């Protein structure tokens, strides 16, 4: 079950004040769907690659993931 997100709750859950590994763990635990996990796997792209813009090919696929994650959070946290 996902917690009721506020920016402060997400900040604490994602460990934004610490290291990227905490953010990746929070994305895997709270935001990433099985379909998104499969998309990343099929393209051999990690969440770290995605967050740091180290992806090739159809950028729209990755923008869709960011949009979905932002919708779950209720504000724009990912993407430009």
Provide the domain count of the chain: 1
| Helices 34-42 and 59-73: angle between axes, nearest 10 degrees | 160
Cα distance between residue 11 and residue 63, in whole Å: 21
pLDDT digits (tens, 9 = 90+) for 3-53: 577 777 777 777 665 666 778 988 998 999 999 999 999 999 999 999 888
In a domain? residue 77: no
DSSP-derived letter for residue 30 is I
Domain interval for residue 42: 7-72
- pLDDT of 28: 93
- The answer to whether position 68 is within a domain reads yes
Q: Give the model's pLDDT for residue 2.
A: 58
Enter the tokens of residue 1: 């079950």
Burial label, 10 (beta-carbon count in 10 A; 0-12, 13-18, 19+) = buried
pLDDT computed for residue 33 by the predictor: 96
Residue 6: what pLDDT? 76
| Residue 1 scores a pLDDT above 50 | no
| pTM of structure | 0.75
The answer to whether the CB of 57 falls within 8 A of the CB of 45 is no
């Amino acid at each position: 079950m996902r917690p009721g997100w506020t920016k402060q709750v997400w900040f604490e859950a994602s460990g934004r004040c610490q290291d990227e590994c905490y953010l990746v763990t929070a994305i895997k635990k709270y935001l990433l769907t099985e379909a998104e996990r499969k998309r990343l796997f099929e393209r051999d792209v990690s969440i770290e690659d995605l967050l740091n813009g180290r992806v090739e090919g159809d950028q729209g696929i990755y923008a869709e993931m960011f949009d979905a994650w932002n919708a779950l959070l209720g504000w724009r946290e990912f993407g430009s």
